[in-house]
Amino acid sequence: MGAVGGGNENLKNSTTLTDVNLYVKDTRADGHHVGIRLVTRRSNGTDHYWPWHKLYAGAGTTDSWYTTATDSGGIKLVWREVAVFEGDSNLGWCPTDPQAN
């Protein structure tokens, strides 16, 4: 695909994640950039897609981000999506395994 990524987090309570870590690595010299975002599933079954964090530095580079996440709708599952981009166009993505909270 051209990217690998993942991360971890701590569940503070049923609506808040702390110490959220996202990391992504660009694995191909293909002229595309890569990104990662957090996805959470709410108590009602809908998904919350958090903003993309993108890496533009090129093949072989890695970046990471630390943040928190709060959703009043609850957080039942957590996973990340790793993608390859051309401009704003998502060329393909892959999810990490979901973790139950």
Q: How does pLDDT run along the chain (101 residues), one tens digit per residue?
A: 899 999 999 999 999 999 999 999 999 999 999 999 999 999 999 999 999 999 999 999 999 999 999 999 999 999 999 999 999 999 999 999 999 98
Nearest to residue 52, comparing CAs of 33, 71, 70? 33
- The domain spans of the chain are 3-100
Residue with structure tokens 């993942």? 6
Task: Give the count of beta carbons closer than 10 Å to the beta carbon of residue 93.
Answer: 18
The Cα–Cα gap between 34 and 26 comes to 6
Write down the CATH superfamily of domain 3-100. Answer: Immunoglobulins (2.60.40.10)
